[in-house]
Copies of this chain bind each other. A is one copy, B any other.
Amino acid sequence: MNPAPTPRTQVRRIARNASYDTGLLHAIVDAAHLCHVAFGDAHGSHCIPTACWRVGEHLYIHGSNGSRMLKQLMKQDCCVTITHLDGLVLARAAFNHSMNYRSAMIYGRFELVDEAGKRAALEAFMEHLAPGRQAQVRPGNAQEYAATTVMRIALAEAACKVRSGPPNDDEEDMQLAVWAGVLPLGQARGAPLPDARCSVPAPDHARAWQDGAPGC
């Protein structure tokens, strides 16, 4: 069931582009490798980019135990935002230019993932980055796991906002001799670059990397 908007997730600006659909939220999170996290401390507001991944109804992040951000996120609510830019929208009038995008904002409090859950969470992260790779690499040892903090936030209080499609010009501008349309943007994937000291053949996730490019 899709959650109802809260005072923090009720979209006011161009509300027709808002959505509280859980399937859309999952798709936006799953298409991302990183999010931006907003929180405050004695120095004011901070906006930190960090890797993220989803397991079920939670978004996960990780970092070093000493991370200032992770310490703060245990003590306060925050806002996690993911944005995919899909194109520049060129209208006939300067004022009606826009961008196509898919964004998600998630509000709430991160919780610490305990030792029992940490391994499964980090293995899910690897599966998100490079399917099948976990079984190929040297797994984390006790010291490495102990140095790593994993946290998660529920995807319960969230709003998505999506703009897609052509420009919306005013009717009186439609006859102007101005080119109008969309300049699409997407994610490009380049050919895998093996490490200079690597003589091992590329595994499936490296060979399939470019085939899976989302493109435009």
Residues of B within 8 A of A133 (CB): 90
Residues of B within 8 A of A187 (CB): 185-188
The interface bits of chain A over 152-190 (1 if a CB of B lies within 8 angstroms of the residue's CB, else 0) are 000000000000001100000110111111111111111
**A75 interface residue per 8 A CB criterion:** no
Contact check: which of B37, B94, B213 meets A126 at CB < 8 Å? B94
Complex contact B197–A174 (CB within 8 A): yes
Complex contact B138–A93 (CB within 8 A): yes
Q: Which chain A residues in 103-160 approach chain B with CB under 8 Å? A: 103, 105, 107, 122, 126, 129-130, 133-134, 136-141, 144, 148
Residues of B within 8 A of A198 (CB): 179-181
Residues of B within 8 A of A196 (CB): 166
State how many residues of chain A have any CB contact under 8 Å with chain B: 96
**A61 interface residue per 8 A CB criterion:** no
The interface bits of chain A over 176-214 (1 if a CB of B lies within 8 angstroms of the residue's CB, else 0) are 111111111111111111111110111100100100010
Please, how many angstroms separate the alpha-carbon atoms of A133 and B195 in the complex? 43
Residues of B within 8 A of A19 (CB): none
Complex contact A45–B79 (CB within 8 A): yes
Complex contact A181–B166 (CB within 8 A): no
Q: What are 25 A-B contacts with C-beta separation under 8 Å? A: A7-B43, A13-B63, A13-B64, A36-B38, A40-B40, A47-B80, A48-B81, A49-B83, A92-B138, A93-B140, A94-B134, A97-B126, A138-B173, A166-B193, A174-B197, A181-B195, A182-B192, A182-B193, A183-B190, A184-B190, A184-B191, A184-B192, A185-B187, A188-B215, A189-B216
